[in-house]
Structure 1
Amino acid sequence: MSRRIVFSLLGALAVLAATGFGAYRLGLRAGAHDAAPAVDKTGRKVLYWHDPMVPGQKFDKPGKSPFMDMELVPVYADEGQAQGGVVVSPGVRQNLGMRIAEVRKGTLASTLDVVGNVAFNERDLVQLQARSSGYVEKLFVRAPLDPVRKGQPLLQLYAPDWVAAQEEYLAVKRMPDGADTAGLLDAARQRMRLAGMTDAQVAQVSARSQVSPRIAVTAPTDGVVSELSVREGMTVVPGTPLFRINGLLTVWVNAEVPESAAAQVRPGMAVRATSPAFPGMAFDGKVEALLPEVSTSTRTLKARIELANPGGKLVPGMFATIHMVPARGRDALLVPAEAVIETGARTVVITVSDDGRFAPADIVTGAEANGQTEVLEGLAEGQKVVASGQFLIDSEASLRGTLQRLGAAAPAAPAQAAIHRATGKVERIAGGEVTISHGPVPSLKWPAMTMGFAAPAGGLPHDVKAGDTVQFEFRKGDKGGFEIVAIARTASGGGQ
């Protein structure tokens, strides 16, 4: 009896061993099949599979996408992705007008052009006031902005206080020579000065030995009368404003400097100005000051520029363009500014290898001037980049898709439309999202799938509900998803 049990156990163990060996052999075959390079029905080698909506994720087997209701798409070895780029055929390059530029080391001679308004130089301002009480008998300059020359009479003033001081001085001067009049004459002169007379006017009274009750006020400098505060017949007291005269030998230009360029502007920097009022003529000057105030609306600072103004040609209110050379150029790696692609999150250039392969490269940029951009990181001297003909793109996925289209074997790939069209069935409407099971979308190379779309800005039509078959147009939204532009039920697409 015991022998039967032993034989039975041995038989069971043999069956288990045979089954395990068979499973082991089957696993080896399956493993060998999985390890072999994947080849599709056309004989093309598949590198990996991916979801076009999430191109950064790679899968080693075909199947359903974990992100969308769609099949994974193969990426083939002959598409050039294994080497980090694509090969662009000469015909496509010619059609796109691609221009290649070399990354070179050079001098970034930064220049800065700003605009501003001409204004009076406040340092050339002269303010004339009455130095004593009197009456304006005659006005020689009768209108603001009249030009005046140094020494030109401006008005005639009758000053009674001057008459008393002058008569006292002349009375002392007529005293006999034997009297001690030296001290009295000095005191009388001082009283004339205190009445508001200048040294020249005191000397005139002494030379003529006669009273001069009427005094002509003259211009102390060349310029224009920017303010006229008196009229004939007015009574004035000491301190009454008479004239405000501004010189025009130099003028100021209040230029608007962008906040981002404020660090490049320094007081004393030489500048050259031009004005549309005088084509072909230049005015030299310098930066007087960078005023410590930022405009909240334009984000600019005011730079006060002092310009030489030969002939008084520039007058307040004119526009002027200021040409600055903020700093001596420095050596840097340079690429054409048009080669740089700003996507918002990344700064990219399309590099070209020696074997003609194109690939994107992330870079860090610095200053920009004269159509050149400084590259701080990401490139080396001698590399080549696409300077024109590249696409402006705003995400890594779209960048990869663009490069794949460039490498297509067809001589002319169809351009991606801004508006895409599809037919599908409305599965669900929830909030602002419409879930649709739609057919293939040729313009995006999408297979049939089920996905959510943002509802139109004006809302869905009243007759569209879940279960309807619809035709719709959609586009890529600002936030990265897709939004419906127009949607309508098909003739045979009624809901249940």
Structure 2
Amino acid sequence: MNRKSIMLAALAGILALAGTAWYSQRTRAATPPPADAAIVVETAEVRRVAMPDEAVAVGTLRANESVVLRPEVAGRVKSILFREGTPVKRGAVLVELDDALQRAELQQARAGLDLAQANFQRTEGLFARRFVSSSARDEAASRLQAARAAVALADARLRRMTLTAPFDGIVGIRQISVGAFVKEGDALVNLEDISVLKLDFRLPEALLPRLRTGQVLEVGSDALPGERFAAQIEAIDPLIDAQTRAVSIRARLDNPQARLRPGMFARVRLILEERPEVAVVPEEALLPSSGGTQYVFRVVGGRAERVAIRIGTRRDALVEVVEGLAPGEQVVTAGQMKLRDGAAVRVLGAAAGG
């Protein structure tokens, strides 16, 4: 047998095998399944759960009070009287600028005041004995008032060389060193009151009628996973943002252990209404639908019934059923793509429904 004959025989064998496979597949496809064959499905019970009506948002934590200390006058830093990152009390001296010139000016003003006081007293005595005119007495009184004002001015200039804490708080990282020359308005150090924090966030304008001061919030942070903190709405902005159609809200929360810090990202949960018993089904029970109506298959007497339902809130893989189903009924959660209305079904197992 030559090479050409071998190749022809092999090709004939391949064609024969292919034909046999095609005929076998066609025969199986043409054989219809039994008319009453039950389709295997999984089901879940329509049940009642607590599903409060809530609004969620993200916000930013801010210090209750926050300030950056800046000198009102230029000068050289004489002393720094705080440790970075430590608490200080209101009125505590934090930074002193070189005040030698201002102290000298105050002493000069006080000396002038002493002289003006003595001259006024002497003029008063002479005026009482009618040795000087009333205009001389008034002039002496005017010089006394000017001397007192000069002392007050020199004292104010001296006090501006000392920077104190305007409230209780924690000082931040300083931007200066002893001996540095600072200009008027230069940033020296920040001071933060974080015993109480403010939380700023936004909600859609549609929720405005349901918002009020004093409402309790639940606050979480990605920096402290799993932990929740209570806050209360303190203020609602009277102005609606024309671009986002959202209302700005400020809440307040205690932070006694300083676990939360200003600038942190926060997740906000506001309960608008407690709803302890809401009928729900698993999300996977819903049939794909292009319109506004949703459908599920309900199992009754071993057969599937296609039911139109109206749904509400979706949360944690559960869907609220507003109407169309009753608690205790069974809905198909797996295998529904093979079903038609009235088809026989065999339940493989009941799911807990989430």
Q: Please indicate, yes or no, whether the TM-score normalized by the shorter chain is above 0.5.
A: yes
Q: Is 1:109 the counterpart of 2:56 in the alignment?
A: no
SS of residue paired to 1:363:
strand
CA distance in 2, matches of 1:156, 1:402: 83
Q: How many residues align?
A: 294
Tell me the CA shift for residue 310 of structure 1. Answer: 0.8
Q: Distance in 1 between matches of 2:151 and 2:62?
A: 35
Aligned to 1:53: none
C-alpha RMSD of the superposition: 5.0
What does residue range 44-443 of structure 1 map to in structure 2 within 5 Å?
92=40, 96-101=41-46, 108-112=51-55, 119-121=61-63, 124-141=65-82, 143=84, 145-159=85-99, 160-161=101-102, 163-173=104-114, 175-176=117-118, 178-179=121-122, 184=143, 186-191=145-150, 194=153, 197=156, 216-226=162-172, 228-253=174-199, 266=211, 268=213, 269-274=215-220, 282-287=228-233, 292=241, 305-316=251-262, 320-325=266-271, 327-329=272-274, 334-338=279-283, 340-346=285-291, 347-353=294-300, 355-369=301-315, 372-376=318-322, 379=324, 381=326, 384-386=329-331, 389-391=333-335, 399=337, 401-403=338-340, 407=344
Q: Distance in 2 between matches of 1:312 and 1:186?
A: 51
CA distance in 2, matches of 1:166, 1:391: 95
Which consecutive residues of structure 1, in runs of 5 or more, have no partner in the other structure?
A: 1-71, 80-86, 203-213, 393-398, 413-496
1:248, distance to aligned residue in structure 2 (A):
1.1
Greater than 6 Å deviation, 4+ residue runs = 72-76, 259-265, 276-281, 300-303
Once residues 339 and 313 of structure 2 are traced to their aligned partners in structure 1, the CA distance between those partners, rounded to angstroms, is: 28
Contact 1:108 1:372 in 2 (8 A): no
Alpha-carbon deviation of 1:285? 1.6
* SS of residue in 2 equivalent to 1:248: strand
Q: Which amino acid aligns with 1:197?
A: A
For residues 289-326 of structure 1, what are the alpha-carbon distances to aligned partners after superposition, in whole Å with 9 as ceiling and x for unaligned? 6895999xxxx99975432111323224656554431x
Report the residue type matching 1:341 in the other structure. L
Which structure is richer in relative contact order (CA contacts within 8 A, separation 6 or more)?
A: 2
Structural mapping, 1:427-466, within 5 Å: none
> What 5-or-longer segments of structure 2 have no aligned partner?
1-29, 125-139, 349-354
1:124 Cα offset (Å): 0.7
Distance in 1, Cα, partners of 2:145 & 2:31 = 110
CA distance in 1, matches of 2:82, 2:340: 76
The answer on whether the counterparts of 2:88 and 2:171 sit within 8 Å (CA) in structure 1 is yes
**Structure 2 CA distance for aligned equivalents of residues 334 and 155 of structure 1:** 64
Q: Is the 8 A contact 1:120 1:246 kept in 2?
A: no
Q: How many Å apart are 1:196 and its aligned residue? A: 7.3
Which residue matches 2:130? none
User: How far apart, CA to CA, are the structure 1 residues paired with 2:329 and 2:259?
Assistant: 51
User: Any idea what the Cα deviations from partners look like across 1:25-44, whole Å, max 9, x if unmatched?
Assistant: xxxxxxxxxxxxxxxxxxxx
Give the secondary structure class of the aligned counterpart of 2:73: coil
Q: Aligned in 2, Cα 1:136/1:307: closer, same or farther, shift over 3 Å?
A: same
Higher-Rg structure is 1
CA distance in 2, matches of 1:323, 1:219: 35
**Rounded Cα–Cα distance in structure 2 between residues aligned with 1:389 and 1:286:** 41
Give the direction of change, closer, same or farther, for the CA distance of 1:308–1:333 in structure 2 (3 Å limit): closer
Partner residue in 2 for 1:21: none
Higher helix share: 2
Supply the AA of the counterpart residue of 1:178: Q
Q: Distance in 1 between matches of 2:152 and 2:74?
A: 14
1:453-476: CA deviation from partner (whole Å, max 9, x where unpaired)? xxxxxxxxxxxxxxxxxxxxxxxx
Give the SS at the match of 2:339.
helix
Amino acid paired to 1:351: R
- The alpha-carbon deviation at position 367 of structure 1 amounts to 2.0
Matched residues in 1 for 2:247 and 2:33: separation? 54
Aligned residues of 1:339 and 1:349 also touching (Cα < 8 A) = no
The answer (yes or no) to whether the contact 1:132–1:196 under 8 Å persists in 2 is no
